[in-house]
Chain A
Amino acid sequence: MRKGRELASVTDRTAQIGPDDILLFCTFRNEDVRLPFFFDYYRKLGINHFIMIDNGSEDTGPAYALAQPDVSLWRTDAPYGDARYGVDWLTYLQGKYADGHWTLTVDVDEFFVYPFCDTRPIRALADWLDASEVRSFGAMLLDMYPKGPVGQTSYARGDDPFETANWFDPGNYFMSQNKLLKNLWIQGGPRARSFFATKPKQAPALNKIPFVKWRKPYAYVSSTHMMLPRGLNLVYDQQGGEKTSGILLHAKFLNTFGDRAAEEAERAEHYAFGREYKTYAERHGADPDLWCQWSEQYINWRQLEVLGLMSKGNWA
């Protein structure tokens, strides 16, 4: 893997990884403000080791990550876009360290929720998936937003982002099947409704497959939206039943969002030259307010399950 050469190891604590450990992989850039809560959340869920890639941060985030006893850190200053939005780097490290492990791949603003996550650690989910001979677990990205203009929230380092951004759209997601890779392509939610209503095709994809029992040849194709081999993408039932599934709560819409959108539009490193960020920057140089009278306030996973946004499936 040529992309592996772009990565420089900063701290390698991978020797600590036990044969049964559950790993988390994440690429980040200038996320110092979010990292404390991120580590906290996933430690509580039962992640054993974090493998982090710092993509040219200019803040103190890498130093903070470095100080964590359960983190191995790599750094690269190569462009995010050239590495297929970080997938190449992740694939390289996953091939090296994740073989045989349950592996969660998320962004710093994505928080994994699965059935019974308030009473059962992620190890319970992994054991149950193993017993059921399931290799990959799907979760939809659920955009969370505050009530009122996004820029007026104040997120401080270490805060739970869902104290303020605790609203979501309950029932406006639409999906179709990708015939080639078999995955579902899901769009919708507040971004489609507010920013992409007139160009729905460009609305961001919300389908994700974040939790996988990793094997060396596996690879994400585009972010964590779809995988190879494509059998891993069949995280849904086609006969009418419901497979067990989760949600990635997306803490994107905080006061950090406006600056971020402007910056990323400038950098144009993201998907399709950051057109998503361009849309935000153009449309809401003024502050977006995503809240509407049909927004739901987040309570817990059971609420999401009742609404039909995730499913317990066969897990009881």
Chain B
Amino acid sequence: MSLGVIMLVHTGFDRAEQMVRHWADAGCPVVVHVDSNVPAAAYDPFEQALRDLPNVRLCARHRCEWGTFGLVAASQEAATLLLEDFPDVQHAFLASGACLPLRPISDLQHYLDAHPDTDFIESATTADVPWTVGGLDRERFTLRFPFAWKKQRRLFDAFVKLQQLVGFKRNIPEGIVPHMGSQWWCLTRQTLDAILRDPNRATYDNYFRRVWIPDESYYQTLARLHARKVESRSLTLAKFDYQGKPHIFFDDHAELLQRSKAFVARKIWRDAHLLYRNFPVSDQVQPNAEEPHLGAVDRVFFQAVDRRTRGRQGLYMHSRFPSIDRQVSIAAAPYVVLQGLGDVIPAFQAWLTKQTGAEVHGHLFAKDRVHFADESEVYRGGLSDNARLRDYNGKMFLSNLIWNGRDQHHCFQFGPSDTQDVCWTLAKDTNASIWVISGAWSVPLFASGRSASEVRAEAARLQRIEDKFLKILRSPDARARIKIMTLAQFIESPMDVLQTIIDEMAGHRGNALKEVPRMPDLTGLPDFLQDLKNQGMHPFLTGHITDGNTQQTKPVQRRKPYVISGK
């Protein structure tokens, strides 16, 4: 057998023994390094247990604290012993006690025999690849790290800051270019030997002793000096989370691991009995030359990182509560807010539903109750139509509504007679598209048949509220798509406006207006508005409405586009 194994162990000795036996039984010599922090009570039985294996050695022990040179010293110690005691070894494989071979060792042996000169070691220059834990990549090599990252975090961070501030920089020894990568490698005897016997080794060791996390950079950097052929990838399947901590594999990953065809995986949960029962797969007659394919594994763990760092947009729950005010988009999907259209066009909601197929609600924020699209008492997700419950947390009412129905395009009517608490939320949400016909509230007042003096106070109130909303919409903090027009502007060319709204809501499914909504009879509106003015209440938001623009406009027939069928 030309494959030898270096195994670093600091815990889980029963599993480690199991793994040592597996490698050894397959004919691979194994040199085990046990962290010198491990007490004799744990070390001695482990050592005893391995005595019956002729091709297994335990090497001198070093103290292995995470992120320190101890881990490099441990592997150097073990590698030296491996190369000395087992002259047949052509490839050395670095593993830990929590590494589990998935495929038969003969597959790996076969694979390495087919690549006799190749060093499998993930190794990338820090200049090109921004791998980060704690935001340090290049600086790992140029700063000093006298404090432990795990135990003296504040001192660690403060000292890094200080060095950055004063511009401290260590010199990198001549001839080497810092590289980083997974600490689990498989090197050829020649490369490993060259690294261990390098005449400058004392210099390099001294330098790396003060680099942060040197086990991810020592061999990765030095292999570049000596290797004939570097294949920059690890043969060990190891995934890391967003904090740089290794993901752990459990029983339910069995199928994923099986399909990955990786040679070795880590870390395995100590109680993953099913994995330890199913793997490693025993030797077959014919070694399988299949390459590992890690697409599915990558996808699963990429999704985990994405979920942890970005999460599901528009979801507010007990473990995701982004500060609403700092979010760019608040709701889960785009939606449309229409102010005033329902006042001007009778039966507008039904007409719009028919035109777009969207979920067109009435006044969701009405004072009496929530007017859902179907006027039901309980809506999707279990939302109540109770106005008090809604107003208790209007933002969450809105975000719940959109999240629950994010497969649909939602649209709702809004107006100055509604609860206004949600105004800022709407204005700040990039998912909101807000259309306002200002002064449209005057139409229902006019249609009520009451005199200007009777409705004067009500008109003033509505105008004041709407003006406040418009100020919010015009503030620099408003990020929604906002279109404001006066009633006068709207009634001059209502069809153009409606067509734009429908195009936006229905997208490519929107056709030219099939059916024109019934337009109201506004004859007499200019006089009504003039009466209001005469009462001292100037409806300035309506724009200039005259007899001329309240005449019924004839819709222009839009020509249908020719579509040439591809048959």
Contact = CB atoms under 8 A, between A and B. Distances in A.
Interface string A221-262: 000000000000001111111111100000000000000000
Contacts of B400: 171-174
B451 interface: no
Contacts of A116: 250, 252
Nearest to B311: A242
Determine which residue in A198, A240, A310, A313 has the highest number of CB atoms from chain B within 10 A of its CB, and name it.
A240
B389 interface: yes
Interface stretch (A24-32, A82-90, A127-135, A280-288): A127-135
Given A116-B250, A171-B403, A314-B305, A308 B322 contact: no
Interface stretch (A50-58, A68-76, A158-166, A290-298): A290-298
A176 B323 CA distance: 10
A41 B54 CA distance: 48
B396 A237 contact: no
A36 interface: no
Nearest to B332: A308
B378 A123 contact: no
Contacts of A216: none
A119 B254 CA distance: 11
Contacts of B303: 316
Given A131-B248, A238-B321, A200 B308 contact: no
A119 B242 CA distance: 24
Interface string A134-148: 000011100000000
Given A140-B318, A197-B389, A241 B271 contact: no
A239 B322 contact: yes
A186 interface: yes
Given A309-B317, A312-B304, A193 B378 contact: yes
A120 B252 CA distance: 8
B265 to A, nearest CB: 14
B396 A293 contact: no
Nearest to B379: A294
A246 to B, nearest CB: 9
Interface stretch (B203-211, B340-348, B380-388): B380-388
Contact of B250 (A124, A138, A235): A124
Determine which residue in A139, A237, A295, A308 has the highest number of CB atoms from chain B within 10 A of its CB, and name it.
A308
Contacts of A128: 248
A310 B307 CA distance: 12
Contacts of A240: 309-311, 313, 320, 322, 327
A186 B247 CA distance: 31
A173 B401 CA distance: 11
Contact of B388 (A140, A197, A244, A316): A197
A282 B412 CA distance: 36
A27 B27 CA distance: 57
Contact of B307 (A139, A184, A313): A313
Contacts of A62: none
Given A127-B248, A140-B318, A192-B389, A171 B404 contact: yes
Contacts of B323: 238
Interface residues of B, number: 51
Given A172-B400, A235-B319, A244-B319, A132 B245 contact: yes
A316 B300 contact: yes
Interface of B is mostly: mixed
A292 B378 contact: yes
B382 A170 contact: yes
Contacts of A292: 378, 382
A171 B406 CA distance: 12
Interface in B392-408: 392-393, 396-397, 400, 403-404
A198 B386 contact: yes
A114 to B, nearest CB: 11
A169 B300 CA distance: 29
Contact of A236 (B242, B319, B383): B319
Nearest to B303: A316
A14 to B, nearest CB: 24
A169 B389 contact: no
B557 interface: no
Contacts of B307: 241-242, 311-314
Contact of B380 (A132, A193, A199, A294): A294
A170 B378 contact: no
B319 A314 contact: no
A128 B392 CA distance: 38
B431 to A, nearest CB: 14
A245 B321 CA distance: 13
Given A316-B301, A316-B304, A241 B320 contact: yes
A178 to B, nearest CB: 11
Interface string A188-200: 0110110011111
Given A127-B269, A237-B311, A292-B382, A174 B392 contact: yes
Contacts of B318: 138-140, 175, 184, 186, 207, 235-236, 245, 310
Contacts of B378: 193, 292-294
Nearest to B269: A124
B251 interface: yes
Contacts of B320: 236-237, 240-243, 311
B316 interface: yes
Contacts of A294: 378-383
Interface string B256-290: 00000000000001110000000000000000000
B304 A200 contact: no
Contacts of A184: 318, 321
Nearest to A121: B271
A21 to B, nearest CB: 14
A273 interface: no
B315 interface: yes
B241 interface: yes
8 contacts: A171-B403, A174-B393, A175-B317, A192-B389, A200-B392, A235-B319, A308-B312, A316-B247
Interface of B: 241-243, 245, 247-248, 250-252, 269-271, 300-301, 303-305, 307-313, 315-323, 327, 378-384, 386, 388-389, 392-393, 396-397, 400, 403-404
Interface of A: 116, 119-121, 123-124, 127-128, 131-132, 138-140, 169-177, 184, 186, 189-190, 192-193, 196-201, 207, 235-245, 292-295, 308-316
Closest 7 CB pairs of A and B: A171-B381, A245-B319, A169-B382, A174-B396, A314-B308, A316-B304, A197-B386
Given A197-B384, A242-B312, 16 more contacts: A116-B252, A120-B251, A120-B252, A132-B243, A171-B382, A171-B403, A174-B392, A177-B321, A184-B318, A198-B386, A237-B320, A238-B321, A239-B309, A241-B307, A312-B307, A316-B300
